[in-house]
Amino acid sequence: MTQQYDVAIVGAGPGGYSTALRAAELGMSVALIEREGTVGGTCLNRGCIPSKALITAMHAMDAARHADVFGVRASVSGIDYNRLREYRLGAVATMTKGLSELLAQRKIDVLYGEAELADTHTIRILITDPADDGTQHVTTVTAEHIVLATGGRPRTLPGEPFRDALIDSTRALELDEFPSRAVIVGAGAIAVEFASLWNAAGCEVTLIIRKGRVLSGWDKRTGMTLTRELKRRGVTVIANASVTGVDTGIKTGATVRYTQAGGEETDVEADVVLAAIGRDPNTDAPWFDALGIARDTHGLLAVDELGRTSVPGVWAVGDITPGHALAHRAFAQGITVAEAIAGLEPRPVDEATVPGIVFSSPEAATVGLTEEQAKERDDLLNVKQTAYPMLGNARMMMSGTGGSMAVVSGERADRPGVPVVLGVHIVAPGASDLIAEAQQLVGARTPLAEAARLIHPHPTFSETLGEALLKADGRPLHTR
């Protein structure tokens, strides 16, 4: 039996389900196809939500450990891993159940099974029925428009497949207990978050990074500050290093071999090794080639600014498209694609206004251009970066945490003489929330003088952004 829809979406992560919700809201019939047993994709099931649940729990543990600084007597007797597991799974279940109910309310048909495109309007879905001894059958769906949201998977170290104690982020979240010793290979958000998480739990953490600082693709000051703070909290950072091999055993943990700056090979032992060097797009199924969907050398689909692939009628969103591999960016793409399909002529997602966040201790957040990126642009003039000394803020001082704040400003060539906010880069407690205001300023191309007039409540962490904007506008109050 063939079911017919206006829009069929392959993948029920943030990009897929946002497309489905907006398309249904616009009056289209929608099928959402997911190969896993639940909706929500990596973010809700194996990424954002479970990892932040664990990080929230470890923040409580870390706060108790350092409470004596404030004159509060507190102690940590240990971790009840069964309760922690229940808390993590409960957070995931609450989010996925709520999403399932919302999809049902919008009358979106959710079909579970492995999908493949037979042609540009036809999807075959292989469905396995666990209630019938694993019996499989094929359902066919046709649609005027097909949206691909197949997501990504953890990337392996070169020549080192995941095995035994060499694990990916999914297995790291599912560990029965936190390791006593861990080596993490990588310098991005996932690597840094797990370094902070395990460190707060009392784990001996070694972080091996290829360059001189974590978050090497971010603003330099941000990466250097966060690297310093990780070291200050007890994380061993081995910089400018290349992993040459990993030896694993089922019961004996693992040994990581590496070299630094062309030196001799060195090794470090651990209970587990987390490889967190990025993710690869799920675009290697044979039907991508059969349909002639264009991809780049990294497997990312070639799309226009509204999400159209090289094949008419087929669209793509999320981690399989070039750009920031972030859940909130995929969510915004899904809305754009749904509105484009409906003929509403939406604005494309602006990559320069997509915030990046790392839920480390302290947090790091970024949006817009770095100083180097802005200076490379021909359409920007008189670019400058303004740094604000974070310990001049009362709440920062009370937190006992170091941090950094930088505002990048400059003039648009078509509007000289009016500096605008081009980028903001933060390391601080609550940076994940502070960046929302910065995103609004960058996205709206707010003139610097207007941004600096905004009032921030006192005493708050948000005042750091207000003070940084005043300084960038040449009107510093508490700084030189």
Q: Which residues pair with 147 in a beta bridge?
A: 9, 315
pLDDT at 262: 75
Helix (H) or strand (E) holding 196: helix 189-200
Q: How confident is the model at residue 1 (pLDDT cuts 50, 70, 90)?
A: low
Identify the active-site residue in 66, 137, 298, 458. Answer: 458
Q: How confident is the model at residue 64 (pLDDT cuts 50, 70, 90)?
A: confident
Tens digits of per-residue pLDDT, 22-46? 999 999 999 999 999 899 999 999 9
* Statement: residue 129 has pLDDT above 80: no
What tokens were used for 311? 């094949």
pLDDT at 134: 66
Query: Omega into 362 within 30° of 0, i.e. cis?
Result: yes
* Statement: residue 336 has pLDDT above 90: yes
Q: How confident is the model at residue 250 (pLDDT cuts 50, 70, 90)?
A: low
For the chain, the first-to-last Cα distance in angstroms comes to 72
Tens digits of per-residue pLDDT, 284-322? 999 999 999 999 999 999 999 999 999 999 999 999 999
- Closest to 386 measured CA to CA, from 355, 423, 333: 423
> Would you list which residues are annotated within the binding site?
52, 186-193, 278, 319
Contact status, residue 305 vs residue 348, Cβ threshold 8 Å: yes
Which domains are assigned to the chain? 3-151+282-351 (3.50.50.60), 154-278 (3.50.50.60), 362-473 (3.30.390.30)
> Would you list which residues are annotated within the binding site for FAD?
52, 319
* Statement: residue 251 has pLDDT above 80: no
Residue 458 known to be catalytic: yes
List, in order, residues 6 or more apart from 302 with CB less than 8 Å away.
294, 295, 296, 309, 310, 322
Tens digits of per-residue pLDDT, 146-194? 999 999 999 999 999 999 999 999 999 999 999 999 999 999 999 999 9
* Cα angle, residue 145 at apex, residues 140 and 146 outer, rounded to 5°: 60
C-alpha pair distances (Å), 81 with each of 75, 91, 170: 17, 15, 17
Q: How confident is the model at residue 477 (pLDDT cuts 50, 70, 90)?
A: confident
Maximum C-alpha span of the chain:
73
Number of H helices, E strands in the chain: 14, 22
